[in-house]
Amino acid sequence: MTQARPMRADARRNYERLLRAAVEAFAEHGEGASLDDIAKRAGVGSGTLYRHFPTRRALLEAAYLDRIEALAQRADAIARELPPGEALVEWLNELALGLTRVRGLKSLLGSAVTDDGSAVATACGSRLTGAAERLVRAAQAEGSLRGDVEPIEVLRLTHGVATASELASGAGTDVRRYLSLLTDGLRAAP
Protein backbone atom coordinates (compact mmCIF):
# COMPACT_ATOMS: atom_id res chain seq x y z
CA MET A 1 0.00 0.00 0.00
CA THR A 2 2.76 2.48 0.85
CA GLN A 3 4.98 3.49 -2.05
CA ALA A 4 7.86 1.13 -2.86
CA ARG A 5 10.56 3.79 -2.83
CA PRO A 6 10.63 6.67 -0.35
CA MET A 7 9.77 10.10 -1.71
CA ARG A 8 12.42 12.56 -2.66
CA ALA A 9 13.02 15.11 0.08
CA ASP A 10 11.40 18.02 -1.76
CA ALA A 11 8.45 15.88 -2.82
CA ARG A 12 7.83 14.79 0.74
CA ARG A 13 8.01 18.39 1.95
CA ASN A 14 5.56 19.56 -0.71
CA TYR A 15 3.24 16.68 0.09
CA GLU A 16 3.04 17.72 3.71
CA ARG A 17 2.70 21.40 2.94
CA LEU A 18 -0.19 20.58 0.63
CA LEU A 19 -1.86 18.49 3.30
CA ARG A 20 -1.60 21.24 5.90
CA ALA A 21 -2.89 23.83 3.43
CA ALA A 22 -5.76 21.53 2.48
CA VAL A 23 -6.83 20.99 6.09
CA GLU A 24 -6.93 24.75 6.55
CA ALA A 25 -8.76 25.46 3.32
CA PHE A 26 -11.35 22.72 3.77
CA ALA A 27 -12.04 23.97 7.29
CA GLU A 28 -12.55 27.50 5.99
CA HIS A 29 -14.45 26.90 2.78
CA GLY A 30 -15.82 23.39 3.01
CA GLU A 31 -15.12 20.57 0.61
CA GLY A 32 -15.45 22.88 -2.39
CA ALA A 33 -12.36 24.91 -1.45
CA SER A 34 -10.36 26.12 -4.44
CA LEU A 35 -7.58 23.70 -5.34
CA ASP A 36 -5.59 26.50 -6.89
CA ASP A 37 -5.80 28.38 -3.61
CA ILE A 38 -4.59 25.32 -1.72
CA ALA A 39 -1.56 25.06 -4.01
CA LYS A 40 -0.84 28.76 -3.51
CA ARG A 41 -1.12 28.47 0.29
CA ALA A 42 1.29 25.57 0.18
CA GLY A 43 3.62 27.60 -2.02
CA VAL A 44 3.71 25.03 -4.81
CA GLY A 45 2.65 24.99 -8.43
CA SER A 46 -0.80 23.68 -9.21
CA GLY A 47 0.67 20.79 -11.16
CA THR A 48 2.36 19.55 -8.01
CA LEU A 49 -0.98 19.28 -6.27
CA TYR A 50 -2.27 17.07 -9.08
CA ARG A 51 0.84 14.95 -9.00
CA HIS A 52 0.32 14.08 -5.35
CA PHE A 53 -3.48 14.09 -5.29
CA PRO A 54 -5.00 13.28 -8.68
CA THR A 55 -8.56 13.96 -7.52
CA ARG A 56 -10.21 16.26 -5.04
CA ARG A 57 -11.43 13.24 -3.17
CA ALA A 58 -7.91 11.89 -2.79
CA LEU A 59 -6.85 15.15 -1.17
CA LEU A 60 -9.94 15.28 1.02
CA GLU A 61 -9.34 11.76 2.19
CA ALA A 62 -5.69 12.36 2.99
CA ALA A 63 -6.58 15.54 4.87
CA TYR A 64 -9.14 13.80 7.07
CA LEU A 65 -7.42 10.47 7.57
CA ASP A 66 -6.54 11.18 11.18
CA ARG A 67 -10.11 12.20 12.02
CA ILE A 68 -11.48 9.04 10.47
CA GLU A 69 -8.94 7.01 12.36
CA ALA A 70 -9.91 8.68 15.64
CA LEU A 71 -13.59 7.97 15.03
CA ALA A 72 -12.87 4.32 14.29
CA GLN A 73 -10.84 3.99 17.47
CA ARG A 74 -13.62 5.59 19.49
CA ALA A 75 -15.86 2.75 18.34
CA ASP A 76 -13.60 0.18 19.92
CA ALA A 77 -13.15 2.23 23.09
CA ILE A 78 -16.88 2.69 23.53
CA ALA A 79 -17.52 -0.99 22.87
CA ARG A 80 -15.34 -1.81 25.87
CA GLU A 81 -17.22 0.57 28.15
CA LEU A 82 -20.89 0.09 27.31
CA PRO A 83 -23.26 -2.77 26.51
CA PRO A 84 -23.68 -3.30 22.74
CA GLY A 85 -26.95 -1.44 22.18
CA GLU A 86 -25.87 1.66 24.08
CA ALA A 87 -22.42 1.52 22.53
CA LEU A 88 -23.84 1.73 19.01
CA VAL A 89 -26.07 4.67 19.88
CA GLU A 90 -23.26 6.51 21.60
CA TRP A 91 -20.88 6.00 18.70
CA LEU A 92 -23.45 7.09 16.15
CA ASN A 93 -23.94 10.23 18.19
CA GLU A 94 -20.25 11.03 18.12
CA LEU A 95 -20.09 10.22 14.43
CA ALA A 96 -23.06 12.41 13.57
CA LEU A 97 -21.67 15.26 15.63
CA GLY A 98 -18.36 14.94 13.83
CA LEU A 99 -20.12 14.96 10.47
CA THR A 100 -21.87 18.23 11.25
CA ARG A 101 -18.90 19.92 12.91
CA VAL A 102 -16.08 19.04 10.55
CA ARG A 103 -16.84 20.52 7.16
CA GLY A 104 -16.33 18.10 4.31
CA LEU A 105 -16.29 15.02 6.51
CA LYS A 106 -19.90 14.23 5.70
CA SER A 107 -19.31 14.14 1.96
CA LEU A 108 -16.33 11.88 2.57
CA LEU A 109 -18.47 9.38 4.48
CA GLY A 110 -21.08 9.79 1.78
CA SER A 111 -18.78 8.61 -0.98
CA ALA A 112 -17.55 5.81 1.27
CA VAL A 113 -21.01 4.32 1.69
CA THR A 114 -22.19 4.87 -1.87
CA ASP A 115 -22.50 1.86 -4.06
CA ASP A 116 -22.75 3.36 -7.51
CA GLY A 117 -20.68 2.03 -10.37
CA SER A 118 -17.43 3.56 -9.15
CA ALA A 119 -17.56 2.13 -5.64
CA VAL A 120 -13.93 2.80 -4.88
CA ALA A 121 -13.41 1.16 -1.54
CA THR A 122 -11.60 4.06 0.07
CA ALA A 123 -9.25 3.53 2.98
CA CYS A 124 -11.26 5.71 5.33
CA GLY A 125 -14.47 4.09 4.16
CA SER A 126 -13.41 0.59 5.07
CA ARG A 127 -12.13 1.86 8.41
CA LEU A 128 -15.54 3.24 9.33
CA THR A 129 -17.58 0.39 7.90
CA GLY A 130 -15.38 -2.01 9.84
CA ALA A 131 -16.11 -0.16 13.07
CA ALA A 132 -19.83 -0.01 12.33
CA GLU A 133 -19.83 -3.70 11.45
CA ARG A 134 -18.62 -4.74 14.88
CA LEU A 135 -21.00 -2.49 16.81
CA VAL A 136 -24.03 -3.39 14.71
CA ARG A 137 -23.45 -7.13 14.84
CA ALA A 138 -22.93 -7.04 18.60
CA ALA A 139 -26.13 -5.09 19.14
CA GLN A 140 -28.04 -7.47 16.91
CA ALA A 141 -26.66 -10.49 18.77
CA GLU A 142 -27.82 -8.90 21.99
CA GLY A 143 -31.26 -8.26 20.50
CA SER A 144 -31.22 -4.52 21.00
CA LEU A 145 -31.13 -3.81 17.26
CA ARG A 146 -33.41 -5.21 14.59
CA GLY A 147 -31.70 -7.95 12.67
CA ASP A 148 -32.53 -6.86 9.15
CA VAL A 149 -30.34 -3.76 8.93
CA GLU A 150 -26.86 -3.79 7.47
CA PRO A 151 -23.99 -1.84 9.03
CA ILE A 152 -23.60 0.22 5.87
CA GLU A 153 -27.26 1.16 6.04
CA VAL A 154 -26.81 2.45 9.55
CA LEU A 155 -23.97 4.63 8.28
CA ARG A 156 -26.08 5.89 5.40
CA LEU A 157 -28.91 6.76 7.75
CA THR A 158 -26.55 8.54 10.12
CA HIS A 159 -25.30 10.53 7.15
CA GLY A 160 -28.95 11.38 6.47
CA VAL A 161 -29.54 12.44 10.06
CA ALA A 162 -26.50 14.71 9.91
CA THR A 163 -27.84 16.20 6.68
CA ALA A 164 -31.23 16.79 8.26
CA SER A 165 -29.81 18.50 11.33
CA GLU A 166 -27.58 20.71 9.20
CA LEU A 167 -30.78 22.21 7.84
CA ALA A 168 -31.62 23.47 11.31
CA SER A 169 -29.78 26.54 12.55
CA GLY A 170 -28.23 25.07 15.70
CA ALA A 171 -27.06 21.87 14.06
CA GLY A 172 -25.32 20.72 17.23
CA THR A 173 -28.45 20.59 19.37
CA ASP A 174 -30.68 18.97 16.78
CA VAL A 175 -28.36 16.15 15.87
CA ARG A 176 -28.86 14.26 19.15
CA ARG A 177 -32.58 14.71 18.90
CA TYR A 178 -32.87 13.61 15.27
CA LEU A 179 -30.57 10.68 15.84
CA SER A 180 -32.68 9.50 18.76
CA LEU A 181 -35.65 9.32 16.42
CA LEU A 182 -33.62 7.09 14.14
CA THR A 183 -32.37 4.85 16.91
CA ASP A 184 -35.91 4.49 18.24
CA GLY A 185 -36.86 3.22 14.81
CA LEU A 186 -33.87 0.91 14.69
CA ARG A 187 -34.80 -0.69 17.99
CA ALA A 188 -38.31 -1.61 16.87
CA ALA A 189 -38.97 -5.08 15.49
CA PRO A 190 -39.10 -5.35 11.69
Q: Residue 91 CB, nearest distance to a second copy (Å)?
A: 17
The region, left, alpha or beta by phi > 0 then psi within -120 to 50, assigned to residue 168 is beta
Q: Does 25 bind DNA (CB under 7 A)?
A: no
Binding at 30: pick from a second copy, DNA, none (beta carbon under 5-8 Å per type):
none
What SS3 state is found at 66?
helix
Binding piece for DNA, criterion CB under 7 A, among 44-52, 148-156, 162-170, 175-183 = 44-52
Comparing CA positions, the residue from 59, 61, 66 lying closest to residue 41 is: 59
Q: Residue 80 CB, nearest distance to DNA (Å)?
A: 41
The region, left, alpha or beta by phi > 0 then psi within -120 to 50, assigned to residue 30 is left
**Which position among 27, 28, 30, 36 is part of the footprint of DNA (CB under 7 A)?**
36
Q: Residue 5 CB, nearest distance to DNA (Å)?
A: 7
Binding at 100: pick from a second copy, DNA, none (beta carbon under 5-8 Å per type):
none
CB contact burial 16-30 (16+ within 10 A = b; e otherwise)? ebbbebbbbbbeeee
- Sign for the CA dihedral angle at 82, 84, 90, 91 comes to positive
Q: Does 161 bind a second copy (CB under 8 A)?
A: yes
The Cα 60–Cα 62 span in angstroms is 6
The Cα 166–Cα 169 span in angstroms is 7
Q: 76 or 163: whose CB is closer to a second copy?
A: 163
What SS3 state is found at 150?
coil
Binding piece for a second copy, criterion CB under 8 A, among 8-16, 60-68, 132-140, 154-162 = 154-162
Q: Does 29 bind a second copy (CB under 8 A)?
A: no
Sites of contact with a second copy (CB under 8 A)? 110, 113-116, 149, 153, 156-157, 159-165, 167-169, 174, 178, 180-186, 188
List contacts with DNA (CB under 7 A).
Answer: 7-8, 10-11, 14-15, 32-37, 43-48, 50-52, 55-56
